Amino acid sequence: MKLFLDSADPKEIASMAATGLVDGVTTNPSLAAKAGMPMFEFLRAICDVVPGSVSAEVTATEADQMIAEGNKLAKIAPNITVKVPLTWDGLKACKALAGDGHKVNVTLCFSPVQALLAAKAGATFISPFIGRLDDAGQDGMALIREIRQTYDNYGFKTEILAASIRHVTHVRDAALAGADVTTMPVGIFKQLAYHPLTDKGLAAFLEDWKKTGQKIL
């Protein structure tokens, strides 16, 4: 499973990208509003440090304008993926942009039939929002399983990008459910490596090693 960062902060992305474990980045207009710099500026900076897919979202609501915005965003760097919302206009724009060879991420997906439409429109990625479904008292992870089964039934190649991740357990469950990608905030990405027994075990190993008086280097 690929691991993406859900962030529009080039500094925090650069520091995580240095691990070599960041496969891509997703941004959205709400993250852009918090970025404290113009969107084209942070997108360029992110594309400079992450070679994988970097999703940049259109803000128009009509297909023609979405296509025009998508074409402009795609010029920022070769690894830009144009992100469009799951509306009829977004699906039309997806079909056109994908037909022109652009990668497209269809976002704000909350049902398996929406995901089916996105795949038929040629989406590279479909972004089901797990956390927002959970917040609404529904089962976000069930959506990942339903999309996985739908896509596998018909051989769709669109990648399932589990989004709106709230905690590490979401990442684990998305992996078990067969999501192709999970995108998460930097804080959750960092927590993936953490386990209290790892810390406890390491402290005990180091303590015992100290007693030997040896050094490796």
Number of chain residues interacting with ligand E4P (CB under 6 A): 11
Confirm or reject binding of residue 127 to ligand E4P (CB under 6 A): yes
CB distance 10 to 38 below 8 Å: no
Structural tokens at position 206: 């180091």
List CB contacts of 27: < 8 A, sequence separation 6 or more: 6, 7, 8, 39, 42, 43, 46, 54, 55, 56, 57, 83
Confirm or reject binding of residue 190 to ligand E4P (CB under 6 A): no
Confirm or reject binding of residue 182 to ligand E4P (CB under 6 A): no
Confirm or reject binding of residue 180 to ligand E4P (CB under 6 A): no
The least distance separating ligand E4P from the CB of residue 170, rounded to whole angstroms, comes to 10
List CB contacts of 43: < 8 A, sequence separation 6 or more: 27, 54, 56, 73, 76, 77, 80
Q: What's the CA gap between 163 and 35, in Å, rounded? A: 19
State which residue, 4 or 151, has the beta carbon closest to ligand E4P: 4
**Member of 53, 107, 158, 182 binding ligand E4P (CB under 6 A):** 107
| Active-site hit among 83, 120, 200, 210 | 83
**Known active-site residue 92:** no
Task: Tell me how many degrees the CA angle 65-68-73 measures, rounded to the nearest 5.
Answer: 120
The least distance separating ligand E4P from the CB of residue 148, rounded to whole angstroms, comes to 18
Structural tokens at position 103: 């990668």
State which residue, 28 or 53, has the beta carbon closest to ligand E4P: 28
Confirm or reject binding of residue 163 to ligand E4P (CB under 6 A): yes
Residues with a catalytic annotation lie at: 83
Site for ligand E4P, rule CB under 6 A: 6, 26, 28, 107, 127, 129, 131-132, 163-164, 183
